[in-house]
Amino acid sequence: MRGPTPIPQQTKPPPIFPTENKDIRRTRNFAMQPPTIPHTIDGYQVDKEFNRCMFCHARTRTQETGAIPVSITHYQDRNGNMLADVSPRRYFCTQCHVAQAEAKPLIGNNFVDVEQLLQRRPGVLGSTK
């Protein structure tokens, strides 16, 4: 990613691409993958004082806002106990959830979804060929 730039020198950072704002839910590539954020979050306050995501995605607000409620797992502590509010370890949404941009990958990727992999291999349990 540095290209021919020597280690001691700074590289020019790539441009920041505009965030998608399509409000379309993307397919997840693996079980338990955190969903991506289908809208811009520029300027959202997410700190110990306020979480702008929960303004729409809190279970008590979703009927009014039309947003998808956060998963019930976000209301559990690490021992599986249910909490009245979002668990502190799940409070900072962008630790796991990311907004999307139409940007060329920095590094090539040949990831294959497990469903596609099973379809390619005849004789494997669950294979359709």
The whole-number pLDDT of residue 56 equals: 95
pTM of the model: 0.71
- The DSSP annotation for 115-127 comes to HHHHHHSTTSTT-
Q: How far is CA 102 from the centre of its chain?
A: 15
The whole-number pLDDT of residue 123 equals: 64
Residues 102-114 have pLDDT tens digits of: 888 888 888 887 7
Tell me the two tokens of residue 85: 């509010």
- What CATH code is assigned to 43-102? 1.10.1130.10
- Please, what is the average pLDDT of the chain? 87
Query: Where are the domains positioned within the chain?
Result: 43-102
Residues 26-66 have pLDDT tens digits of: 888 788 899 999 999 999 999 999 999 999 999 999 999 99
| Measured distance CA(21)–CA(7) in Å, rounded | 37
Contact 85, 51 (CB under 8 A): no
| Beta carbons within 8 Å of 82's beta carbon, 6+ residues apart | 75, 76
